[in-house]
Amino acid sequence: MVGRALYKGRRSFTGRIVVYVLMLCILTGCSSSGAGNSAGTDSTPAAKVTNEPKKATSTPIPTPTEVPIEDIPEVVYSDCVDGAYDNKKVTITVMLDNLEYVEIGTYKVVNFDAWILDKRDKYIIKDYETVSDDKLVNLLKNAKNGDFYKFTLKVSRTQGVVSFGFHDAISAQKIDPLTTKEKAIKTFTKACATVAVKDIERNPDDYFYSKVAFKGEVFQLAKEDGDWLEFLLDTGEDDPVYVVYMKHEGESRILEGDKITVYGYCYKLYSYNSVLGTKMTVPKVGAMVIEY
């Protein structure tokens, strides 16, 4: 009985193995058949699917061609007034004045006033300018007041006033003097008109950035920071004129009581509180030249 029981156990174990093999074959066959049915009569294996993104095949955008410097128009200030050259590159002739070379470590700049050629021998002074490009700094650091240069730069417009991008100038080239510094400044002062304070107060927009001249006495220094100066000028009218001015190198200090003539640009109106606490609104002038 023991032997029969062992045989029965072996047969039972062997039978189970056979059954498992048959079941595995059946399952494998069904899976293949199912795959064949889902793919139709084509037995070619399906292509391998990947999640890799396709590489872009778009045509590269061409780089805009820069205009050669020799093809950039040479203009004078008055050519730019009507807006024809806004946001365009031009070449202008400039007389340098009030030059200052600043070097602090790796920081190097050249500051200057620019007298820009306007209508033959006429000149119009610009605000205090700064050049920081290494090439231009090295070129201008040894320049002298009264030197003439041709700058290639971009024209823009700020609050309706033409401005030039000296900070991002493309190039600068020294040229022979067209006149003396004294004559150039004289043409500017002659172009400044004497205007009544009341007329500016009544119609400030009409005089914005116009060249004006005021003669009077300095009666209050409002601010003095290095070469930067702000003061009130008594012209003899009911209200004074508020003047801002950048002194030139070696120029004497302006004191209260000085009798001077101011030549510059009208910057509309300016409000301040007087020593008595009263709010005053008067014409503001950016002085370019001061004569005693």
Per run of 10 residues, the mean pLDDT along the chain (length 292 residues) is: 36 42 46 41 48 51 51 93 94 95 94 90 87 94 96 92 93 94 93 96 95 97 93 97 91 96 96 88 97 95
DSSP the chain: -HHHHHHHHHHHHHHHHHHHHHHHHHHHHHHHHHHHHHHTT--SPPPPP--PPPPP-PPPPPPPPPPPGGGSPEE-HHHHTTSTTTTSEEEEEEEEEEEEEEEETTEEEEEEEEEEE-STT-EEE---EEE--HHHHHHHTT--TT-EEEEEEEEEEETTEEEE-GGG-SEEEEE--SS-HHHHHHHHHHHPEE--HHHHHH-HHHHTT-EEEEEEEEEEEEEEETTEEEEEEE-SSSS-EEEEEEPPTTPPPP-TT-EEEEEEEEEEEEEEE-TTS-EEEEEEEEEEEEE-
In a domain? residue 15: no
Final residue before a domain boundary, out of 180, 200, 219: 180
Same domain, 155 and 241: no
In a domain? residue 36: no
Same domain, 173 and 86: yes
Same domain, 146 and 104: yes
In a domain? residue 16: no
In a domain? residue 214: yes
Same domain, 145 and 200: no
The total number of structural domains in the chain stands at 2
Residue 106's domain comprises 69-180
In a domain? residue 8: no
Final residue before a domain boundary, out of 160, 180, 200: 180
Final residue before a domain boundary, out of 180, 213, 235: 180
- Looking at residue 20, its pLDDT comes to 44
Same domain, 126 and 169: yes
In a domain? residue 74: yes
Same domain, 140 and 220: no
Q: What is the pTM of this model?
A: 0.73
CATH number at residue 231: 2.40.50.140
Same domain, 210 and 276: yes
In a domain? residue 21: no
Same domain, 147 and 228: no
Residue with tokens 């640009």: 265
Same domain, 202 and 249: yes
